[in-house]
Structure 1
Amino acid sequence: MTTMGRAVGVLRILLVLLFAGLVVAQVAILPGTLAHLAEEEPDLAYLRWPMLAFSIVELVCVQVVIVCTWKLLAMVKADRIFSEAAFAWVDAIVWAMGTAWVLLFGVFVFVTTVVAGPGLPVLLFGSVLAAGVLVLLMVVMRALLRQATTLRTDMDAVI
C-alpha cells in the first residue's frame, strides 16, 4: 500500500469518527446543554431554540463537507480527481462552508449588539475571520483544481 493509500485510509477513519461525533452532538449533547443553560440563565432562555437551530445547521454544514471529502477521496484513490465530476463535490463544499460562514457572521452581529463585554464578540470575530479564510481558501483550491483538470485534459489529448 502506498503512502497516499495509507493516508486516505487513516483520513477516512478520522472522517467517520468526526461524523459520528457530530451526530452525537446534534442528538444528545446540544439539546441537553442548551436546556440546562436555559434553566441556569432564565433571562437568556429565549435564545435556547435559535441557538439550537444555529448549532445544528452549522454541524450539518460540517457533515456535508465530510461527505463531499469522502467522495473526493474515492476519486483520488481511483485517479479520477482531475475530472469534471469532482467539481460537483468541491462546489458543495464551497456552498456548505459559505452557508456556515454567513450564519456565523449573523450570530457575530447579533451577539455584538446584545453582549456588553468584549470577550464573546472578540472570540466570534476571530471565528468569523478564520471561517472566511477557509471559505476563500476553498475557492482558491477549486480554481487550482480547475487549472489542473484543464492541464490533465490537454495532456491526455496530446498523449
Structure 2
Amino acid sequence: MISEKWAVAALRVFLVVLFGVLVVFQTLSLPGGIAYHTQQNPHDANLRWPLTAIAVFLVLCVQAVLVATWKLLTLVKKDRIFTSASLKWVDVIVWAVAAAWLVFAGLLVFVGINADDPGMPMVLFLVTVGITVIGLLMVVMRALLRQATTLRSDLEGVI
C-alpha cells in the first residue's frame, strides 16, 4: 500500500499540474473558444461575454477547491488536520461548490426554458446533480472532521 507521505507528494504534483492547466483554460482556451463559437454563430453573439464570465468563474471555483486542498494537505503533513484551522479550508471548498452549484442551477433553468431539444438540459441536469452530491458529501465530511477535531481535543485534554 502506498504510504501517506508519497500520496500527499503525488497529490501535490497533480494539484500543481491541474492548477496550471486550469489557468491556461481560464485565460486562453475558454475565452477563445467562446469567441470562436460566437463568430461562427452570430445569433449567439450576445452570449459571448456572459458565457465567458460564467466559464471563468466556474474555473475559479475549481481553483479555490485546489488551493484549499493544498492547504489541507499541508495540515495533514504537519499532523494538524484535526484542528479548527482545517475547518476554514473545508468551508472554502463547501462555498466554492455551492457557488458552482448556483451557476449550474441557473444555467439549467435558463437553458431548460429556451432549449429546443432535451440534450443540453439533460447534460446540465447531470452536472448539477453531480455537484449537489459533491457539495452534500463535503458537508458530511466537514461534520465528521468537526467531530474528530472535538474528540482529539478531548483526548489531548485527558492526556
Question: Which SS does the other structure have where 1:70 is aligned?
Answer: helix
Aligned AA (1:142):
R
Unaligned runs of 5+ in 2: none
- Name the CA distance, whole Å, in 2 between partners of 1:32 and 1:12: 29
Match of 2:30 in 1: 30
Matches within 5 A, 1:71-150: 71-150=71-150
- Name the CA distance, whole Å, in 2 between partners of 1:3 and 1:64: 27
Q: Which runs of 4+ in 1 moved over 6 A?
A: none
Question: Which SS does the other structure have where 1:117 is aligned?
Answer: coil
- Tell me the percent identity: 50
Figure out how many residues of one structure are paired with residues of the other and give that number.
158
TM-score w.r.t. the length of structure 2 is: 0.97
Aligned AA (1:11):
L
- Name the CA distance, whole Å, in 2 between partners of 1:124 and 1:77: 37
Question: Which SS does the other structure have where 1:89 is aligned?
Answer: helix
Q: CA deviation at 1:31?
A: 1.2
The answer to whether residue 44 in structure 2 is matched with residue 58 in structure 1 is no
Q: CA deviation at 1:20?
A: 0.3
Q: CA deviation at 1:115?
A: 1.3
- Name the CA distance, whole Å, in 1 between partners of 2:27 and 2:121: 27
Q: CA deviation at 1:68?
A: 0.5
TM-score w.r.t. the length of structure 1 is: 0.97
The answer to whether residue 3 in structure 2 is matched with residue 8 in structure 1 is no
Unaligned runs of 5+ in 1: none
